[in-house]
Amino acid sequence: MTFVNKLSKSFRWLRCSTLCAILFYMFFIGLILHSTSHKLQQQLKEQGSSSSSSSSSSSSSSSSSSTQAQPKMVPNVGQLNAMQELEQQQQKHHQNTRLKSQPMANNLDLGNEHQRQQRTHKGQEKRPGNASQSPNQPETVILAASNVNEKQILAKAFKRADRNRDGKLSIQELGQYINRRIVEHIDEAILNNAREFRRVDIGPADGLITWDEYHRFFLREHGMTEADIDEHDEIRHTTLNRRAREDMMRDKARWSEAARTDLFTLTIDEYLSFRHPESSVSNLLELVDDLLRQFDQDGDDQLTLEEFSDLNVDDDDDLLRKSLISKTLVERREEFKRIIDKNHDGKADRGELLNYVNPKTPRYALQEAATLFSLCDENKDELLTLKEMTDNAEIFLQSKMIDTANSFHTEF
């Protein structure tokens, strides 16, 4: 029994020591796992804080990702699984950052494109593009700037025309200013004709301009490159704006009238008649021929006072004839004596009629001034104020007072 008792005590001691050893090893392993888990959690926190400082827009997603990663890091998870989880969170963070940065890049591209479009508008101030602005806002700004610019143009012309500086324009002051503008325009057109002719006559430079040469010149003047011109649809002109298309159609109609020598080419004199019909002597001679053909009753190549004053233009649809002569019988007789018949012999020959139809003569400008007064002198005091001009801005901006060239081109 003594041996059995001793053996039994030995087993009890062995079981106790084994149990203590197992508990000790478990406690030691638990400390190691806890230390490892704590270090990994610290690394995740540091990674989350650095990501939030790099981009303010992705801080919320970064912190939420770190928060979501923490519950997964339990003490019983191994180091390899923790590192894989960290790598997945980093990939997700980078993907979110790229997705958020994509719209910002698109907004910047839209802003740059808006800036480029604003710079292409002639006479308009540059504005930085902003994708957050409403679509109607830029147009409102442009229209406001345009109105301000128009008022400045009218005020500048008004100041130059107001010779006595009384703040009002008489019909004589307005007529004198318009006459100066007409003379300057015609002289400049004649002076620049030869230089422009050489710029157009390049394919080849043979002293004659074909329609193809002028067409390419027209498109270059409207900002098109040679490559764009080669692909341009000459029939529909879809790449041109409405104003340019109208100008092109007008020029095409004038071509046949100006091409007297050859229907397909223009000489340098014909080119002046084509581009500036009001500046061409040949065009003015044609006007004289028209007057004689329609009003010279006895066919002596001269107009008498009776022939000129007895003309009935009330039902005449020819606007040019109406612009050349006065309406009433008394006005026509007075005009013939004072303006047309320079030598006072009772007849107007070709030379006197040529001077009469010449836009450089003061009569032409006074007639334009009288038309403007009849349309815009609201209080009928035979004086124009700057307010009356700005109230009728559209009329003045299209008149020979402001837009001399286009006004002539429309009339002729």
User: Over the chain, what is the mean pLDDT?
Assistant: 74
HSE, side-chain direction, 13 A CA sphere, residue 61: 17
Beta-bridged to residue 266, according to DSSP, are 209
Would you tell me the crossing angle of helices 362-376 and 171-200 to the nearest 10 degrees? 120
Distance CA(407)–CA(404), nearest Å, equals 5
Residue whose pair of structure tokens reads 């770190």 in the numeric block = 66
**Residue 289: strand, helix, or coil:** helix
What is the rounded distance in angstroms from the CA atom of residue 312 to the CA atom of residue 329?
9
- Determine the straight-line distance between the first and last CA of the chain, rounded to whole angstroms: 145
Q: What are residue 348's DSSP bridge partners?
A: 303
Domain boundaries, the chain: 156-191+280-411
**Cβ distance 33 to 75 under 8 Å?**
yes
- What local confidence, expressed as pLDDT, does residue 141 receive? 42
The structure's pTM equals 0.57
Q: What is the pLDDT of residues 137-176, one digit of tens each?
A: 444 444 444 566 888 999 999 999 999 999 999 999 999 9
What distance in Å separates the CA atoms of residue 48 and residue 367, rounded to the nearest whole number? Answer: 83
**Distance (Å, rounded) from C-alpha 86 to C-alpha 65?**
10
Query: In this model, does residue 192 exceed pLDDT 80?
Result: yes
Q: How many helices (H) and strands (E) does the chain have?
A: 18, 4
pLDDT in tens, 219-245: 999 888 888 888 877 776 777 888 888
Classified as helix, coil or strand, 187 is helix
Per-residue tokens: 104: 């910002």
Q: What per-residue confidence (pLDDT) applies to 309?
A: 79
Q: What is the pLDDT of residue 126?
A: 37
Phi first, then psi: give them for residue 122, nearest 5 degrees. Answer: -75, 135
Instruction: Decide: 303 and 311 in contact? Cβ < 8 Å.
Output: no
Q: For the purposes of burial, counting CB atoms within 10 Å of the CB of 377, is it exposed (0-12), middle (13-18) or buried (19 or more)?
A: middle
* Poorest-pLDDT segment among 102-111, 271-280, 347-356: 102-111
pLDDT band at 123 (very low <50, low <70, confident <90, very high): very low
Q: Provide the pLDDT for residue 8.
A: 58
In this structure, the dihedral spanned by the alpha carbons of residues 153, 158, 163 and 167, taken in order and rounded to 10 degrees, is -140
- Tokens 């007849």 correspond to 347
DSSP class of 104: H
Rg (CA), the chain: 45
Chain-centre distance for alpha carbon 39: 64
Reply yes or no on whether the pLDDT at 198 is more than 70: yes
pLDDT at 317: 52
Q: Which pLDDT belongs to residue 2?
A: 60
Does the pLDDT value for residue 306 go beyond 90?
no
Q: Are 121 and 100 in contact (CB under 8 A)?
A: no
Please state, in angstroms and rounded to a whole number, the distance separating the CA atoms of residues 326 and 126: 48
pLDDT tens for each residue of 58-69:
444 434 444 343
Residue indicated by tokens 């990994």: 40
Q: What are phi and psi of 384, to 5 degrees?
A: -110, 130
- For the segment 242-267, what is each residue's pLDDT rounded down to a tens digit? 888 888 888 988 898 899 889 999 99
H or E segment at 265?
Answer: strand 265-266
